[in-house]
């Protein structure tokens, strides 16, 4: 079962890398892969 924070879109993104060195984001709670293009909702900016 997904954490409630993930259900509402507040994932806990961590940086990971593949064996060939390609970097990507993955939620440490639910395992969802991120696309890297979505800013964190509390990060500020426009």
Number of domains in the chain: 1
Examine residue 40 and state whether it is found in any structural domain, yes or no: no
Residue 7 has pLDDT above 60, yes or no: yes
Task: Determine the pLDDT at residue 29.
Answer: 94
Examine residue 18 and state whether it is found in any structural domain, yes or no: yes
- Bridge partners of 43, per DSSP, are none
Q: Could you tell me the sign of the dihedral formed by the alpha carbons of 17, 12, 10, 32, in that order?
A: positive
Examine residue 42 and state whether it is found in any structural domain, yes or no: no
Residue whose C-alpha is closest to residue 7's, from 30, 38, 35, 34:
30
Residue 46 has pLDDT above 50, yes or no: no
Task: Determine the pLDDT at residue 45.
Answer: 43
Examine residue 20 and state whether it is found in any structural domain, yes or no: yes
Report DSSP state, residue 40: P
Give the range of the structural domain holding residue 10, as residue numbers without chain letter: 4-34
Q: Note the pTM of the prediction, 2 decimals.
A: 0.67
- Bridge partners of 6, per DSSP, are none
**9-45 pLDDT tens trace:** 899 999 999 999 999 999 999 999 987 665 555 544 4
Examine residue 8 and state whether it is found in any structural domain, yes or no: yes
Examine residue 14 and state whether it is found in any structural domain, yes or no: yes
């Amino acid at each position: 079962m997904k954490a409630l924070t993930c259900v509402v879109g507040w994932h806990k993104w961590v940086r990971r890398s593949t064996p060939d060195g390609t970097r990507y984001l993955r939620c440490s709670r639910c395992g969802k892969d991120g696309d890297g293009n979505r800013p964190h909702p509390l990060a500020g900016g426009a």
